[in-house]
Structure 1
Amino acid sequence: MASRGGRRRMPGWLAGIVGAVVIVAAWWLLSVTVFTPPEGTDFTPVPTPLAVLQQLIADGPSAYWSVFQVTVTEALIGFAWGNGLALLLASTVLLLPRIEPVVTQIAVVSYCLPVVAVGGIAIVVLGGAKQPGDPSATAIFLAALAVFFTTVVGALAGFRAADRASLDVVRVFGGGRWTQLTKVRLIAAAPAILNALQIAVPSAFLGAVLGEYMGATDRSVGITLIRLQGNLDSTRVWAVFLLCAVVALVGYAIVGLLSRLVTPWVSGRRSA
């Protein structure tokens, strides 16, 4: 891939590998220099990447599958609700332009709300898991809240990017705002919406984990981290952190692949 100045840009997959190597190297360097275990003890707040990997292999997938299954379910439900409401409101703005300031203010307020305060209210109003192993209503709510702002802003920006000439053609042939939305604006906004959804994947997962920290759940990533931290089991804490990053990256990559398949013209433009 060439840039405007004629220089070749680093491929995305190679940049990802280089970034991962740099992060792991920095992690290892800090663990063996700055965060070394105190004399006479084996405890270290930052275990080495090798120690974390060995712990994951020793525990096996079954030790973490049931924990992540609950959190991923919460994140997916919150992702669907938050993005669905955001896209609905953004689409409504095109049909009723006067409500745009209201929708924008709602999105900004949702982004600025302190998660701790909102989570505390949500756990009182919504509660947690109804049955052991069920998703937490509070975690779902915070996952939806975490993605709402990004998708509203991305969708509105994408809708505004529609070609004026195409909108005029629809208007000349008698089409109204609804026809413009379905025939022109949705196609023009697809890249921006998919980019917003891609960013929303790790946000939804983070929101679900934060919701689990509020309690009212017996099996999830959040409650597992609380237990491990209480037991000073730093190696397993970092193992869960690492798995969280992997899950978020996998979801991010899946939506990114979907974006390339749905909007191939954008991918072709980037590679030109």
Structure 2
Amino acid sequence: MQQRRVPGWLAGVIGLVSLLALWWVFALAFSPDRGTYTPVPSPFAVFGQLAEDGLGAYWGPFEVTITEAAYGFVWGNSLALLIASTVLLFPRLEPVIVQIAVVSYCLPLVAVGGIAIVVLGGATKAGDPSSTAIFLAALAVFFTTVVGALLGFKSADRASIDVVRVYGGGRLTQLRKVRLVAALPAILNALQIAVPTAFLGAVLGEYMGATDRSVGITLIRLQGNLDSERVWAVFLLCAAVAMIGYGALGLVSRLVTPWVLGRGTA
């Protein structure tokens, strides 16, 4: 007897309700005496603060951070895809490229950010994106995309590659006609994972003091003011932005590669 799968939307609702319930229990467990600072406010307090402030009050800092994350996403993933493609054209470079990707993943972003703020600096003008935040966002996505692209390129059907080779196609033709098509699902999955990673890297770069208006500097100010409701409100908005970006790339992946889910044309 075939088991019925839980619909995706229902699983999402159940997960969200469970998360809110755990948050509420966690807030009760760490609730201090009345009149003192509350490190973990309840969901009701946080959502009430969001409703009182309005989303427009948070758009300014998020606009800067989203811009930094987008720049870092484009630069980091472009470099990763370029290097992965180079490995296919020159296979002997693969161990070197893989080692570089692993080293970039193992680097502590906090230490790298301290060096980057000295070398690259922060925002040139008030409200501009930070070069350090862009660099850390690009560094954060590099490893995932390199590995995803390499695995995707290697998943190409050998028979299709042989057909291209028989008809006189070189490595560039194989890359364009076969390997890119075969690697597209893996590349899109890597890019999907890179969306929240780029946002996290940008926020971490802002913690280095590289901007005067951003999510990172806003969190520092709110924590200094012991404004826990707004701190958690910013946390929620960060998660929402990352989820929206993740979902948007997932939708693009479904539209571009329908054969992965068996929705291709007959």
Mark yes or no: TM-score above 0.5.
yes
Identify the match of residue 108 of structure 1 among 93, 102, 109: 102
Identify the match of residue 4 of structure 2 among 8, 32, 41: 8
User: Hey, what's the Cα distance between the residues in 2 that align with 1:216 and 1:87?
Assistant: 28
User: Hey, what's the Cα distance between the residues in 2 that align with 1:238 and 1:69?
Assistant: 18
Name the SS of the counterpart of 1:232 in structure 2. Answer: coil
Alignment match, 1:36: 31
User: Hey, what's the Cα distance between the residues in 1 that align with 2:132 and 2:252?
Assistant: 29
TM-score by length of 1: 0.95
- Bigger drift between 48-57 and 7-16 goes to 7-16
Name the SS of the counterpart of 2:136 in structure 1. Answer: helix
The one-letter amino acid of 2:114's match is G
Identify the match of residue 43 of structure 2 among 20, 44, 49: 49
Alignment match, 1:95: 89
- Is residue 2:166 matched to residue 1:169? no
- Percent of aligned positions with the same letter in both sequences? 74
User: Hey, what's the Cα distance between the residues in 1 that align with 2:232 and 2:190?
Assistant: 28
The one-letter amino acid of 1:216's match is A
Alignment match, 1:217: 211
**Cα deviation 1:30-57 (Å, max 9, x = unaligned):** 112x1112x2424211111111011011
The one-letter amino acid of 2:226's match is L
Q: Per-residue deviation at 1:18?
A: 1.6
Do the aligned partners of 2:133 and 2:210 also contact (CA within 8 Å) in 1?
Answer: no
The one-letter amino acid of 1:183's match is K
The one-letter amino acid of 1:35's match is F
**Cα deviation 1:65-123 (Å, max 9, x = unaligned):** 01100000000000000000000000011100011011101100000001111000000
Alignment match, 2:238: 244
Unpaired segments ≥5 residues, structure 2: none
User: Hey, what's the Cα distance between the residues in 2 that align with 1:133 and 1:101?
Assistant: 41
Q: Residues 16 and 40 from structure 1, CA distance in 2 versus in 1: closer, same or farther, beyond 3 angstroms?
A: closer
The one-letter amino acid of 1:226's match is I
User: Hey, what's the Cα distance between the residues in 1 that align with 2:147 and 2:239?
Assistant: 25
Do the aligned partners of 2:76 and 2:138 also contact (CA within 8 Å) in 1?
Answer: yes
User: Hey, what's the Cα distance between the residues in 1 that align with 2:148 and 2:9?
Assistant: 24
Alignment match, 1:136: 130
Structure 1 consecutive aligned stretches of length 4 or more whose deviation exceeds 6 Å: none
The one-letter amino acid of 2:170's match is G
Q: How does 1:119-158 map to 2 (within 5 A)?
A: 119-158=113-152
Alignment match, 1:20: 16
Unpaired segments ≥5 residues, structure 1: none
Q: Residues 161 and 145 from structure 1, CA distance in 2 versus in 1: closer, same or farther, beyond 3 angstroms?
A: same
Alignment match, 2:200: 206
Let me know the Cα RMSD of the aligned residues. Answer: 1.3
User: Hey, what's the Cα distance between the residues in 2 that align with 1:74 and 1:27?
Assistant: 30
The one-letter amino acid of 1:145's match is L
Name the SS of the counterpart of 1:214 in structure 2. Answer: coil
TM-score by length of 2: 0.97
